[in-house]
Amino acid sequence: MHRSHTHNLRSPADNRHATPAVLDSQTLFAQHREVLIRHHGKDYRLQLTRSNKLILVK
């Protein structure tokens, strides 16, 4: 008998109480002071400032 498995196919709403993923900023900004985050087809820029603060811009 063949079984299909559905792993991690939950919607974000189903994961409201799950532990969030942790991404270390040193890893994200190891080579660049800016990363792009694509969300629903739109790009957002997460920038590391000279004073080591984070700015998210559309």
Q: What is the pLDDT of residue 12?
A: 62
In a domain, 47, yes or no: yes
pLDDT at 9: 59
Residue 19 covered by a domain: no
Q: What is the CATH number of the domain that holds 47?
A: 2.10.70.10
pLDDT at 11: 63
Look at the chain and report how many structural domains it folds into. Answer: 1
Say if 16 falls within a structural domain: no
1 domain-assigned: no
Q: Quick: pLDDT tens for 25-58.
A: 999 999 999 999 999 999 999 999 999 999 999 9
In order of 6, 12, 48, the CA distances from 31 in angstroms are: 36, 30, 12
State whether the Cα torsion 19-25-31-33 is positive or negative: positive
Range of the domain at 48: 24-57
Is residue 15 situated within a structural domain?
Answer: no
- What per-residue string of b and e applies to 18-33 under the rule 16 or more CB within 10 Å gives b? eeeeeeeeeeebeeee
> Where do we find the tokens 């994200």?
28
